[in-house]
Amino acid sequence: MIIDVVMPKMGESITEGTILEWKKQVGDSIAMDEILLEIGTDKVDSEIPSSAEGVIVEILAKPNDIIEVGKVIAKIDSGKKPSKSNDSFEKPDESLSADIPEIVDKVPKDHSNAMDNQKRKKFFSPVVMKIVAENQLSINELEKISGTGRGGRVTKKDILLYIDEKEKLEPVNLKNDSHDKVHKSVMIKSNDEEMSHMRQMISKHMVDSLSTSAHVHVVTDVDMSRIVEFVKLNEVSFKNQESYNLTYTPFVVQATVQALLEFPKMNASIEDTKIKYHRNVNIGLAVSIEEGLIVPSLSHCEEKNFLGICRSVNDIASRARQGKINPDELSGSTFSITNFGVFGVNVGTPIINQPNVGILGVGAIKKRPVVVEDLDGDLIGIKHMMVLSLGFDHRLIDGAEGSKFINSIKRKLETMPLEFNF
């Protein structure tokens, strides 16, 4: 029976996708839920598992082709069962055998049965095996690598990352190595590398934003001493209750949501010559992942209490780093927050996430000497200070309103009632 493989629907707002890479080719056997191809959208890149078991008889789309949702991209003959000969780990392709003599030699003969027992538990693709051979890695090394693919499978990205980290850790022996080896170790390699699909999309979105919005930035200092002390006193009880750490991000989100309700124009967007005021406050939270930066949305934040915001922040950040974000969650934000403070940076000038008219940059919390006003006179005190930076669209928001908005967030953080029970 021939089964059609169609371009999957990646989300309600996604109408097409780009074929990035086929993991299988015509004639290859494939099992149910085995990764068939990788698809990219303007929101996220995803590995797509097979919905059927059989043999691939036809592929109808090439890499970089943009295909509409629902269109047939491949055909699988479910009447043919997967062949053991396609298991590249047990029986490598003859074209690869010349490239991997070192690996074959390193596997003891009496280990063959053990490898046969493991063959269905761990799969290594021909691409991975070829990279292993080229870099003279042993089977033991390969088995120790933690795979990020489905079911713990070691991907091309995993093996390349392992090799890169290994090279960084290897010391350069200037005394014993030959001149050529030393030169090779310290020489900076010059090469060209194609941007990933996600990086291309990020690049396009950033340039489009700068050409669309009239970016203006203002900054202010926030005394976070009360919140820092509160977190220290409650971090254990919070962790015991929620099973994750209490961070400073929910405090910033809550203060921002309250300020957005006070300044509805900051929670709006521009459509031609019209101002669209949004009924709900949906916070886009920038999350750094291995492939780049994504901004999933926390919906209906105006309806959530502090604990609800904590749970939403933890959930969206965790799923984003695990690659489990629904593409629809990457749209619909009405205002965005980016926390570069987690990387130790004090201040930045973030680019607006379209179609928002504002974005809040959160710097690192650091101890600083500050002037403390007192009835008896001014004093110098040590406080936990944080820099907030607000980027806003000057087409809609004037400097005065932007300044009032960021000062509202500052005031709410410094005077926030800390009466949460954990």
**Residues marked as catalytic:** 394, 398
Question: What's 220's DSSP letter?
Answer: E
For residue 17, give the H/E element and its range. strand 16-22
Residue in this structure with the two tokens 């309103």, named with its chain if needed:
401
Three-state DSSP state, 59: strand
Query: What contacts 75, CB < 8 A, 6 or more positions away?
Result: 2, 3, 4, 5, 56, 57, 58, 60
HEC string for 333-351:
CCEEEEEHHHHCCCCCCCC
For residue 8, give the H/E element and its range. none
Question: Hey, what long-range contacts does 92-98 have (CB within 8 A, 24 or more apart)?
Answer: 92/126, 92/129, 93/126, 96/126, 96/129, 96/130, 96/133
* Angle at which helices 249-262 and 399-415 cross, to 10°: 130
**How many other CB atoms are there within 10 angstroms of residue 234's CB atom?**
16
Residue environment code for 172-208, b if the CB has 16+ CB neighbours within 10 A, otherwise e? eeeeeeeeeeeeeeeeeeeeeeeeebbeebbeebeee
